[in-house]
Amino acid sequence: MSPENDAPKPRPLGPGDRDFRKRLFFPLASGVTTQLDGYQDILRRAMPLRPGMVRALPRSVRELSLSLTAEREGGPRPGYLSEPRTLAAYAWYYLPWNLIRLSRLLPGLDLDLPEDGLVCDLGSGPLTFIQALWLSRPDLRRKKLRISCVDRSRRALDLGLALFAGLAGFDPTAPDAPWRIRVTRGEYWQGLTGGADLIAMVNVANELAGLSRDPLDARMERVAAQLTDALALGGRALVVEPGTRLGWRCLLGMREAFIDLDMDLSGPCPHREECVLVGGRTRAWCHFTVSPKGAPKWLTTFSDRAGLGKERLSLSYLMAKKAQPKQEQPGIRVVSGAFSLSDVPGSAVYGCSEAGLVVLVASDRRPPSPGDMLAVEVPPGASRDAKSGAPRVFLPVDPAAAVLPDGRGGPVRDPRPHSVPQKTGGGREGSGRNSGKPATGPASRTPAGRPSGPARPGGKPAGAVRRPKKKAVKRPARRPG
């Protein structure tokens, strides 16, 4: 398969689509894993290190991790990536993990940029987002793009240019380069250019949260207004944050502002109503966790040496389009990993819908994955889950059963007779096929432990993880929320 066709393409649900499920996260494409396998050689050429710095690199990564974690509430110290030792630690650990994390997300997003389109990457560090875009979206490599990157650290920007050149095989600053990149040292707003087709902010909003004493929602409202003003008609704003509660709160403030500005929410929200996780009976927040499967051996080995191995990667994201909001179609976004219910056979997941939080039940023990978008509706009179209070939607074993003949998502009815009293009660997670494994997805809790998510370019780590406990015998783990 050629590199141009190696990445999965986003596929919207629509007429004639016989599958009721649209994936958000795809496995790493073979072309991505091949390039990541050789990425350490690109790092060595772009950033030669003295033997002493190489030996000290694992310790430097641990110190950087502790520093970023300790400063999480107030944000990292401005310009810290300008220090060679810190930049080296970031480049060898956080940068490649960020490339993997973004390369799992970007193929599932609608990023159809026009020829000679303008991309603004705010708080770009060593051009992490632009590198991930090149890696994971080969369909965009054929297009001429103008790219504006801004960060507080000029050293990080220069490193990013060298890394991108090694990855793409051409000088991105050349006048005739297919992707022509211009870098600017400064604050995030200095990278905004009117008429942008795509504005990306990766792991930036959570740092802006600590820069003033204004209410968080007011700060995020100002940022959302700045992004909206700089977008061309049809342009998109993509904001990616670590999968932490703070990251979600930042996105929540921007989401409300985008709605007020008549922006079209492209994802992950399937509706424009209040977030179903605000003020609910669960303690969940909207984030997704993905497997690090496909990470190169050199990276996993180095991460283990540093004592910061990865078992999963987490993120939250929000994408909005500057266009008249489209008419919403019924749909439910999966926002958790699988758990079991005590009174119903099979596996269940939480879902986000216009009707609020729902519990999706898969009687065949093949639940959808976190991030999946399902063309199903909440049936009238659905039974209620005792713990969350959310209605239960029973998924069909045959995917085609959830689609009407014209391709529209049809309601999935509770297969049990409603005349029979329903036994409700708090379910438990872990007794199904995912027994013994930590819940994944937005409705799961972030466990304490080692950092689980990469930091933003010039940012901080995306929360913490711990190794999953061994499978309990006859005692399933507690259900998320």
Number of CB atoms found within 10 A of residue 85's CB: 14
Closest CA to 143 of 115, 162, 170, 120: 115
Residue 359 makes CB contacts below 8 A (sequence gap 6+) with 341, 348, 349, 350, 351, 385, 388, 390, 391, 392, 393
Handedness of CA 214, 216, 221, 222 (dihedral sign): positive
Q: What does residue 178 show for φ and ψ, rounded to 5 degrees? A: -60, -40
The continuous run of DSSP H or E covering 183 comes out as strand 179-185
Q: Give the Cα separation of 272 and 97 in Å (integer).
A: 32
Whether 295 contacts 36, CB under 8 Å: yes
Mean per-residue pLDDT of the chain = 80
pLDDT for the residue 166: 97
pLDDT for 103-159, tens place per residue? 999 999 999 899 999 999 999 999 999 999 999 999 999 899 999 999 999 999 999
Whether the per-residue pLDDT at 446 is higher than 50: the answer is: no
- How much is the pLDDT for 76? 59
Q: Which amino acid is at 424?
A: T
Confidence of residue 215 (pLDDT cuts 50, 70, 90): confident
Mean pLDDT of 233-245: 93
Give the model's confidence band at 19: pLDDT under 50 very low, under 70 low, under 90 confident, else very high.
low
Q: Say how many C-beta atoms besides its own lie within 10 A of residue 131's C-beta.
A: 26
User: Residue 277's pLDDT is what?
Assistant: 87
Query: What's the rounded mean pLDDT across residues 202-206?
Result: 88
For residue range 337-362, list pLDDT tens digits in order: 888 888 888 889 999 998 899 999 99
The more confidently predicted of residues 9 and 246 is: 246
> Residues 26-37: what's their mean pLDDT?
94
Confidence of residue 327 (pLDDT cuts 50, 70, 90): low
CB 376 within 8 A of CB 330: yes
Please answer whether residues 52 and 61 qualify as being in contact, where contact means their C-beta atoms are separated by less than 8 angstroms.
Answer: no
pLDDT, tens digit, for every residue of 159-186? 999 999 999 999 999 999 999 999 999 9
pLDDT at residue number 325: 72
374-433 tens-digit pLDDT = 988 888 889 998 888 899 999 887 544 444 333 333 443 333 333 333 333 333 333 333
Burial class, 166, CB count within 10 angstroms (exposed 0-12 / middle 13-18 / buried 19+): middle
d(Cα 181, Cα 190) in Å, to the nearest integer?
A: 15
Classify the C-alpha dihedral 372-376-378-381 as positive or negative: negative
Mean pLDDT within 54-68: 89
Tokens of 328: 């919403």
Name the burial class of residue 301, with classes exposed (0-12), middle (13-18) and buried (19+) by CB atoms within 10 angstroms of its CB.
exposed
What count of other Cβ atoms lies within 10 Å of the Cβ of residue 171? 15
CA atoms of 116 and 1, how far apart (whole Å): 27
In this predicted structure, what is the pLDDT of residue 398? 53
**Nearest residue to 335 via CA among 392, 386, 276:** 276
Please state which of the four CATH numbers 3.60.15.10, 3.30.70.2860, 3.40.50.150, 3.50.50.60 is assigned to the domain occupying 24-321.
3.40.50.150
